[in-house]
């Protein structure tokens, strides 16, 4: 069993998440994890790859949903760099899907926004990520990237949300080794 996220707090009041020297609002009760987006061919994450906040959204029916503006400005990836897949719909709107994986960064136990030196965990996403188009003059949707439960299913991860303590733990499955 590998612990990826340990005692990650979420809050009963609005907070903010720092991204590239700016603060972005986080609504109360939203669980923020830190991720990196990368080409699906990478076996190891380049340490220079930016970490970005994502909402752990148990109601999201997609792997990962991000606005094109966040993908470009925060993750440093232009969609043209990623292989394009079939389109899909998110909240009734057509969006493009691209082949990419998301890497989940471990947290310092009890802290949300502090980076740790532990290695990130690769979430292999099939069929990729959904990218909302950036609309000039329109509010960015989604406000923050969304990491859905489907992203965790393929990896067989265990998510425990302790609502009383407002803490989240994510780990790999236990492996049972039988010796003859």
Kindly report the CATH number assigned to the domain that includes residue 103: 2.40.70.10
Torsion angle of C-alpha atoms 58, 61, 63, 66, degrees rounded to 10: -90
Residue 179 within any structural domain of the chain: no
- The band of 42, judged by pLDDT with boundaries at 50, 70 and 90, is confident
Residue 63 within any structural domain of the chain: yes
Residue 177 within any structural domain of the chain: no
* Count of structural domains within the chain: 1
Q: Which domain covers residue 78, as residue numbers?
A: 3-171
- Average pLDDT value for the chain: 90
pLDDT tens, residue by residue, 100-128: 999 999 999 999 999 898 899 999 998 89
Residue 178 within any structural domain of the chain: no
Residue 150 within any structural domain of the chain: yes
Residue 176 within any structural domain of the chain: no
pLDDT over threshold 90, residue 86? no
């Amino acid at each position: 069993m590998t612990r990826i996220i340990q005692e990650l707090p979420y809050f009963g009041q609005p907070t903010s998440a720092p991204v590239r020297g700016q603060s972005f609002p986080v609504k109360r009760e939203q669980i923020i994890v830190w991720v990196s987006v990368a080409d699906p061919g990478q076996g190891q994450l380049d340490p220079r790859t930016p970490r970005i906040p994502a909402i752990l959204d148990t109601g999201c029916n997609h792997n990962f949903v991000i606005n094109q503006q966040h993908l470009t400005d925060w993750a440093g990836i232009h969609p043209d760099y990623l292989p394009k897949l079939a389109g899909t719909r998110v909240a009734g709107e057509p969006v493009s899907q691209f082949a990419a994986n998301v890497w989940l960064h471990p947290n310092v136990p009890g802290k949300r926004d502090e980076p740790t030196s532990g290695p990130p965990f690769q979430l292999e996403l099939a069929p990729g990520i959904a990218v909302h188009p950036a609309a000039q003059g329109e509010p960015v949707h989604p406000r923050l990237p969304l990491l859905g439960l489907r992203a965790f299913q393929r990896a067989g991860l265990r998510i425990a949300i302790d609502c009383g303590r407002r803490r989240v733990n994510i780990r790999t499955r236990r492996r049972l080794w039988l010796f003859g």
